[in-house]
Chains A and B, each alone.
Chain A
Amino acid sequence: MSLPPSFLQQKLPLGDLLDVRAFGEVCHSFAELYRIGLKVFDEAGNKLVDVKVGNADFCGYVWSKPPGREQCIATVGRVKGEDVGEEPRATRVVCFSGCEYVVQPILYEGDVLGRVVFGPFVPEELVELPAPLRAIAPGDDAKKVEAFQARIRRVRPEAAEKILKHFMDLLDVMVFSGHKNLIAAKLHIEAVTESYRELQEKNRQLEDSYAKLKELDRLKSNFLATMSHELRTPLTSVIGYSEMMLEGLGGPLTSEQREYLGIIMEKGENLLQLITSILDISKIEAGRVRLVLSEVDATQLMRDAVATVLPLARKKGLKVSCEPAQLPRVQADRDKLRQCLVNLCSNAVKFTPAGGTINVSSEALPGDRVAIHVTDTGIGIGEEHLPKVFDVFYQVDGSSTREYGGAGLGLAIVKSFVEAHGGEVTVRSTLGQGTTFALVLPREPSAVLALTPIAAPTPFVGRTG
């Protein structure tokens, strides 16, 4: 990486350091004050300022005579080009006409940026027109020329040098402030440009890593889906053979053996459920869920869900009630909707301490929608956690010593399934008092089904398929 070259590295011409128009006004006012002309050249010899005071007729006359013109050009060449050194000192340049100029280099930071030409003026000591001038202005013209020259200020050359020094001091300040302003403005732009370039670079890196993370996340989901499937196959055998043994297919069992097998089966079922959840969520994340829609009686599904959790709820000492309203049938995926309700009910049982109640109710909403509420009197959810409870793997208590188990997938699955139906799931909760989840479904999922896969689901790779 390399930065573009900064203007700090460049040498700046006088014209860039000064506001030439404003500087011209200063020069005019200065020249008017002293009634002496003023010219400013930059290092390359470009004239930035030219103020004539009083010498127009005189110089015009000289210029009108060919020998005069020739000598005038020589003088102009000298004031513009004569070596005036690199010291803050004035050099006197005398014109053939008797007029004089003082010339001084403009020095800034040790560099010569140009020169100031102050004049013409008539030196105090000049008493008569010099011979070369008289030669081009014979007879009556001499008087005219004298009259023209009288309009040019008479001044001692030392005084002119002093006035020039004063001007050079002013100019130095103007160049310094001009330089300072220029640097401030340009550096400001350079700094902003550089910051922008840096930000863009960082954004690009962020985008890259975001793309990489997304790809990794997709691979993870794929891996989970495949692994869950691979895990389920042997587990089915574990459960199946336990069941066969319990049924006595392997010979008679002692009561202890029955008890142990019962435990193996129960834990196996738990494990199977967990794996199924992981499989669901990885399918959702991989965009492989497909809804199988049919006419569904929501009331029946509510009763099913309650029946599923009832044994566990009784064991914990909870009261469970089901209060379905008169509901129209809805178009939905029966299995997925049942799973949503079971997940919500299981959560309610899990997070409600003994003596609490769980209520499952429903209502018909305007706009051809139905709502199912699962309300508990459990421990509730803190406000700060509410927006995140539907996130995958999110646990309100994520510590390793937490009181309530679970993979943090139940609600994520509910949300995905409900949204796939074009519905929504919301939660209200008061810490310590209880929680209500509301599941709102349209009677007919219309232009929905964000999760319906566009391509056919990729088959799992595995021994048993």
Chain B
Amino acid sequence: MVQFNADTREIAVKVVYYGPALSGKTTNLQALFRKIDPKVRGRLMTLDTKDDRTLFFDMMPVFFRTKAGVKVKLKLYTVPGQVMHESTRRIVLQGTDAVAFVADSRRSEAAPTLAYWNNMLKNLEANGLDYRTLPIVIQMNKRDLDDARGEGELGDLLRVIQPPIVPAVAIRGEGVVETLHAVLQRCYRSLDRHFGLEEQWQIPEREFLGQILSHVDLRGARLPAEAGAR
């Protein structure tokens, strides 16, 4: 749940990267860490990895102050993908404002991906979050692999699920900024609807996204024309 502090004029927003084991959640955060200006982000905290697998989660803070003087603190989390860390996933998901679901595009991974999607819906429910109203973006990662689902198949998928799909090759940094942009845009709109970011806090969408994206290395990123404007 987004935290507003009217006294200190602060807003804390939480975004969670969820997805099956080895789908590339940590890789997404690592790519963003490289692309985001250190002035507006903290260190990438990777908690207890063993054999390059996330045991608890990764976390990276991004922060900026709006023209109206509101401090926006955005925390990006990943969940541990391995099945046994179910309770940790549930805890990390607590109070999230938006979710980027990182899926492995390969056909062979379709079944586990669906299982994790359902698992996420269950864990959202356990946290009192409604997947029908929560901003969710799906990243179809590993588009470069041979077995990846084709465009047509993604189109079919779009017909049955609500969230938008962003293609990506996170390991090469492709699609990660687009995913962040898509998830933040949806997140902004949802928060604006519920808490009046523009009315009450004088933060228009353009500034919210622009403040972050103006500190991101956008080379190679394909974003809507207005995004990234300072």
- Give the most central of B40, B45, B71: most A CB within 10 Å: B45
Q: In the complex, which residues of chain A have a beta carbon less than 8 angstroms from the beta carbon of B88?
A: 187, 191, 194
Indicate with 1 or 0, residue by residue over A182-199, a CB within 8 angstroms of chain B CB atoms: 011001101110110010
Contacts A2-B127, A180-B47, A184-B56 known; A108 to B42 CB distance under 8 Å? yes
Total contacting residues, chain A, CB less than 8 A: 24
A179 to B71, CA, bound (A): 21
* A399 beta carbon closer than 8 Å to chain B: no
A132 to B75, CA, bound (A): 50
* B94 beta carbon closer than 8 Å to chain A: yes
Cβ-neighbour of A176 out of B45, B85, B87 (below 8 A): B45
* B126 beta carbon closer than 8 Å to chain A: yes
Are B91 and A190 in contact, with the CB atoms below 8 A?
yes
A179 to B61, CA, bound (A): 13
Q: In the complex, which residues of chain A have a beta carbon less than 8 angstroms from the beta carbon of B61?
A: 109-110
Q: In the complex, which residues of chain B have a beta carbon less than 8 angstroms from the beta carbon of A3?
A: 90-91, 94, 126-127
Decide if the interface of chain A is mainly helix, strand, loop or mixed: helix
Min CB distance B108 to A, Å, is: 30
* A461 beta carbon closer than 8 Å to chain B: no
* Count of CB-CB pairs between chains A and B under 8 Å: 72
* B208 beta carbon closer than 8 Å to chain A: no
Cβ-neighbour of B94 out of A6, A109, A176, A179 (below 8 A): A6
Are A194 and B90 in contact, with the CB atoms below 8 A?
yes
From residue 48 to 70 of chain B, which have CB atoms closer than 8 A to chain A?
48, 56-57, 59, 61, 63-64
Total contacting residues, chain B, CB less than 8 A: 29
Min CB distance A189 to B, Å, is: 10
A108 to B63, CA, bound (A): 10
* A77 beta carbon closer than 8 Å to chain B: no
Q: In the complex, which residues of chain A have a beta carbon less than 8 angstroms from the beta carbon of B40?
A: 110
A6 to B90, CA, bound (A): 10
Task: Tell me the A residues contacting B by CB distance below 8 Å.
Answer: 1-3, 5-6, 8-9, 108-111, 176, 179-180, 183-184, 187-188, 190-192, 194-195, 198
Task: Tell me the B residues contacting A by CB distance below 8 Å.
Answer: 1, 3, 40, 42-43, 45, 47-48, 56-57, 59, 61, 63-64, 71, 73, 75, 85-88, 90-92, 94-95, 126-128
Please list 22 pairs of residues, one from A and one from B, whose beta carbons are closer than 8 Å in the complex, sorted by A's number: A2-B126, A2-B128, A3-B90, A3-B91, A3-B126, A3-B127, A5-B94, A9-B94, A9-B95, A109-B63, A110-B63, A179-B45, A183-B47, A184-B56, A187-B57, A187-B88, A190-B91, A192-B87, A194-B87, A194-B88, A194-B91, A195-B86
8 shortest interchain CB distances as A-B pairs = A110-B63, A194-B87, A109-B61, A109-B42, A195-B87, A191-B88, A191-B87, A6-B94
